[in-house]
A and B are shown apart, each in its own frame.
Chain A
Amino acid sequence: MSYLPNFIFLILIIVGGGIFLRNILRIKRNINLGKAVDRSDKTALRWKQMLRIALGQSKMGSKPIAAILHLIVYVGFIIINIELLEIILDGLLGTHRLFAPYLGNLYHILIGTFEILALLVIVAVVVFWIRRNGIRIKRFWKAEMKGWPKLDADLILYFEVVLMMLFLSMNATDYLLQQQESHYIQAGSFPVSKFLRPLFEGFSFNSLLLLERSFWWAHITGILVFLNYLYYSKHLHILLAFPNTFFAKLVPNGKFEVDEHIKKEVLMMLYPDRVVSETSSAVPSKFGASDVFDLNWTQLMNAYSCTECGRCTEACPANRTGKKLSPRKIMMDTRDRLTEVGENLNKNKGVFQNDEKQLLHDYISAEELWACTSCNACVEVCPIAIDPLSIIMDMRQYLVMEQSAAPQLLNSMMSNIENNGAPWPFSNQDRLQWANEQLN
């Protein structure tokens, strides 16, 4: 009978961890729906990029206040989670503050540090909330943030406050227990939770014990729920920011992908005598992208990683001047469509059933795509190296090459290039006329 709590805890961990694992595998499967692209080169450089951008938060600095607040929550969460190890072991072994006897004074320092960090996290989260809901910073209130994205952002903040409060309340009651019973494990220093003690003073030993246990259980359960909440949330970035920055492109921003299949076709057209050997290569079923299947896996990982911070949209010249295009929405739409495709797969034993929908038109309109100036501002500013521009370009390619659906003026520009070698209707024979013209 005395092992019942251990057993319940074990079940909790298995179920919580199991669902989490299933979610991660689903995300992996969905990302792998994307087309292949080789990012196995320059590993050393990739590690550096990941350490700099994801671990080192190097791109956050352009907004100093957000950077500091984010750093507090980020460091706070990582460090406080060291405590999680003890909590899990305590739960499984039925012990209490397992590490205390082994760590001695260090244990006091650790618990004290965790408490201070917990307080800092709460303060940072409150400021975050005020920025979103009090000051209403513009980028958090764009059209694409209505509904779930807004609720999601707030829920994450509430989650964090509740988890931190549970941790502190647990310590507050624990300390009072230590005071009342000398054979109760005496450990930890409580610089922050001591201010919560007045709330619990005057309770009997048993009530305190009940409270302490409740906080403890609620805390670990909350963590497991939060872990599984990631799957539905922009908070997934806390995991995916790392692979996302690792696999991000390393070439200059201005270099767009040169399509290999098209290269073969063009070579064959221009120089039929030169390329005879490689005629067997499969021609792709379509050019460009109209759905998530046509994007490559790094673009799909980008979509899952996006934090919906809106820095890209704020920097986007099209969005700044009131056009419909929002690079953040491009990423959110891609994720939403990918999630929809994933659900479809879950329901149909892993075989996608045509749902008469696609990323283009059902999620992203041609109007949005044509408003992009390919200026790379969104790519440059993204704190986790997401590339919305590449998705826009792939979708434009589909519109033009598969549907001949470019704006009329662009069609004229292209036929000019085709006929005269210039985007305007000038004869190529006049190309050097400027050299003979009068000087100014």
Chain B
Amino acid sequence: MKLNVPTLASLKEQGQKPDVVFWVGCAGSFDDRAKKITKAFVKILNHTNTSFAVLGTEESCTGDPAKRAGNEFLFQMQALQNIETLNRYDVTKIVTTCPHCFNTLKNEYPELGGKYEVLHHTQFLKTLIKEGKLKVEGGTYKGKRITFHDPCYLGRANSVFEAPRDLIQKLDAELVEMKSCRAKGLCCGAGGAQMFKDAETGEKEINVERTAEAIETKAEIIAAACPFCTTMMTDGIKHHKQEERVKVMDVAELIANAKDL
């Protein structure tokens, strides 16, 4: 099977416009682990015959890591160029698998002239289910203990707590919560541009602390909804030498797997 991934440019050539633009993000495009999430999500988009397109080589970093690192100038350079591209294609609706892209596009682009309806993929998948386009049943995950790690930029930053949990419940899985969850969720340690630097000296790494909480729940799967969280949690689990017992997966991957896509 091959993925069907149209670009906005190719659709435009044919005089077409997609319903929604899938913003892949830098991790989703280049990082080996995150690419799997991207592909899983596209499988679902293809499966549901969703009319979508990607920007492909016209996409560029949203500027989030630059802004959080303190480089407002670089952030705005990136933002304004992306907005120029998006507006050239009259984009109105965007879905993204990265909470950082989601937050930046949704909250920080409007003031710079980029006003779109922006959805996180967990919200989007929920709508697909609601509209009857996607049917999800337990299958492989029926009865499995799954815990959900709230990405800071999805949860606390934008108050999206229920969409990913609703999806996990659709898998007939047993959703168990960590000690810190929802608005009190503990960061994985990647946000604020930390992903790209070494941590300051301390007693331990943040992902080690967080995965300890996850292991405590005795879950077999840690569900994530962010490519950076996925990486951080996977590393944390390795640190605890639990990689045989605990898997870290994006909600989109869980759904694609459950449907055997």
Interface residues of A (CB under 8 A from B): 62, 251-256, 258-259, 262-263, 265-267, 269-270, 287-288, 315, 317-318, 320-325, 367, 370-377, 379-381, 393, 396-401, 406-407, 409-410, 412-414, 417-418, 421-424, 426, 428-435, 437, 439-440
Contacts and interface: CB of A to CB of B under 8 A. Distances in A.
Nearest to B76: A266
Interface stretch (B129-137, B169-177, B179-187, B239-247): B179-187
Contacts of A377: 152, 156, 184-187
Most chain-A Cβ atoms within 10 A of its Cβ — which of B39, B80, B192? B192
A287 B107 CA distance: 22
A253 B187 CA distance: 15
Given A431-B56, A432-B5, 6 more contacts: A254-B157, A270-B84, A371-B199, A377-B184, A417-B61, A417-B65
A198 B2 CA distance: 92
B160 to A, nearest CB: 10
B147 to A, nearest CB: 17
B157 A253 contact: yes
Interface of B: 1-3, 5, 7, 24, 26, 28-31, 35-36, 38-39, 42-43, 54, 56-57, 59-61, 63, 65-74, 76-78, 80-81, 84, 103, 107-108, 111-112, 152-153, 156-159, 183-187, 189-206, 208-210
Contacts of A375: 152, 156, 187, 191-192
18 contacts: A252-B159, A254-B107, A262-B76, A266-B76, A266-B80, A269-B77, A317-B186, A321-B206, A323-B199, A324-B202, A370-B197, A373-B206, A380-B156, A399-B70, A417-B63, A417-B74, A418-B74, A422-B29
Contacts of B59: 421, 431
B220 to A, nearest CB: 20
A439 B2 CA distance: 8
Contacts of B78: 417, 421
Contacts, number: 226
A434 B29 contact: yes
B11 to A, nearest CB: 14
Contacts of B66: 413-414, 417
B35 to A, nearest CB: 4
Contact of B204 (A321, A381, A428, A431): A321
Nearest to B81: A270
Nearest to B197: A409
Contacts of B202: 318, 321-324, 371
* Shortest 6 CB-CB contacts between residues of A and residues of B: A254-B157, A322-B203, A374-B192, A396-B70, A421-B60, A322-B202
Contact of B196 (A380, A423, A437, A439): A423
A256 B111 CA distance: 11
A51 to B, nearest CB: 21
